[in-house]
Structure 1
Amino acid sequence: MILEVIATNVKDAIDAEKFGANRLELVTGMMEGGLTPSYSTIKHVVQNVSIPVHVMIRPQSKSFIYDKYDEAVILKDIEICKELGAAGVVFGALNTDNTINEDLLVKVIQKVEGMNITFHRAIDESNDIVNSLNTLLKYPEVTHILTSGGKDSAIEGQGTINEMIKLAKNTELKIVAGSGLSIENVSNFIDSTFVEEIHFGSGVRKNHSSIEEIDENLMRNLINIIKNS
């Protein structure tokens, strides 16, 4: 089981690794669903941890539909992430009809040059998640999909997540389940979906708050639950 934890700063990143995370999703603006962090933050996080760092590439939070100015920012941010040593980027874009924006995805693929690509929860706002998954399967450069199964939480969307995992079973694409997972519900969720990668944000923070620090006890408990699932 791969445990991906959201980090918003260098201390978060160090703590998450120390407490057992396998991978980081590095963001700012966690309450807005995650935005691209500063270059200095990316640099210092990469320098201070040994686990993979996947950086959120999202220039604004109003939608997943991007204009030409957003696209220019996205592509430049990816170049800089590569220069700074990030292992991957977390990206997602839709067309106005809520289909996958393949034109921008191709441009992103051309920029990553070996970094992992996680297509994030933009897929949950697409017009058909299964069709969107099939679209992304055309691009082997997309290594992960972060999803809540089209619902507000992965618990509500676990039926769709299970279907997505089955569709991606014989491919290199990994389905990462996130949103609404907690110490209390994750064991049953893993057993029900057979998911191999999970994503935690506020669920491992003090008071379950996105603005507080990562809680060592919650992380330790989560690791134990995962090991026994």
Structure 2
Amino acid sequence: MVLEVCAYNIASCIIAGKAGAGRIELCVNPLEGGITPSFGLIEYVAEYVPIPAFPMIRPRGGSYVYDTHELAIMKKDILRCRDMGCKGIATGIQLPDGRLDADNMKRLVEWAYPMQVTCHKAFDVTPDAFAALDVLIAAGVSRVLTSGLRKTALEGADLLRQLVATADGRIVIMPGGSVRSSNIAQLAAATGAVEFHSSGILSMAMGQVANEDEVRKMVNELK
């Protein structure tokens, strides 16, 4: 099983690597829900952290509906990440009606190849989780980060279990949303998922930095 740590800074990346996490979702600006990090940060993490980091490709906060200018910026960011040797990215695009944008999701995957593509929590504001899952599978997306369309993954556990069964190995369903060492084993048992996503942050007073003991506990719970 794999724990992915959502890291907003280099400190959390280093902690994730030391504590045994399998992957990092790399972004900045948590108040906006995460946006694209600087290329300096991406490069530094690649040099000094021993696990893969998937940069978030999201040009701004707010909705996941993008115009042609924003899409062009996303393409440039994706190609730069690919040229830098990143193993994957996290991204997502919606239509104005809330459905995932099937055509542009395919374009994102094509631009990213051979990097893996994770659909971030744009999935959780779609009107139909199973229709959205079909879009992602058809586009060639590798995994989807979701709380089961609820505020927390524990609240969405029933839908997460259904999504795992429907995916049937065609795409990874990665629960995220208030995932902690106190509930990660319960989530694994309830959903059948094999990858999980958490910031590992226990206190905002620590400046959005993951707690190393908490990350290590989650890793151990998954063993």
TM-score, normalisation: structure 1: 0.92
Per the alignment, residue 164 of structure 2 pairs with 165
TM-superposed deviation, 1:210: 7.8
Per the alignment, residue 77 of structure 2 pairs with 77
TM-superposed deviation, 1:208: 5.8
Paired with 1:58 and 1:27, the residues of 2 have a C-alpha distance of 9
Higher relative contact order (CA 8 A, sep 6+): 2
Paired with 2:205 and 2:166, the residues of 1 have a C-alpha distance of 34
After superposition, residues 26-175 of structure 1 pair within 5 angstroms as 26-140=26-140, 142-171=141-170, 173-175=171-173
Aligned residues, how many? Answer: 223
Per the alignment, residue 187 of structure 1 pairs with 185
TM-superposed deviation, 1:59: 0.6
Question: What do the CA deviations read for 1:64-110 (whole angstroms, capped 9, x no partner)?
Answer: 11111110111111011112221111011100111111221122122
TM-superposed deviation, 1:184: 1.7
Distance 1:77 1:199, change over 3 A: same
Q: Which amino acid aligns with 1:9?
A: N
CA RMSD of aligned residues (A): 1.5
Paired with 1:185 and 1:208, the residues of 2 have a C-alpha distance of 20
Q: Which amino acid aligns with 1:73?
A: I
| Secondary structure, aligned partner of 1:54 | strand
Question: What do the CA deviations read for 1:194-219 (whole angstroms, capped 9, x no partner)?
Answer: 11000001xx2242668332212212
TM-superposed deviation, 1:9: 2.4
Q: Which stretches in structure 1 are left out of the alignment for 5+ residues?
A: none
Give the percent of matched residue pairs that are identical in Structure 1 and Structure 2.
31
Q: Which amino acid aligns with 1:122?
A: A
Q: Which stretches in structure 2 are left out of the alignment for 5+ residues?
A: none
TM-score, normalisation: structure 2: 0.95
Q: Which amino acid aligns with 1:151?
A: R
Answer yes or no: is the 8 Å Cα contact 1:30–1:210 preserved in 2: no
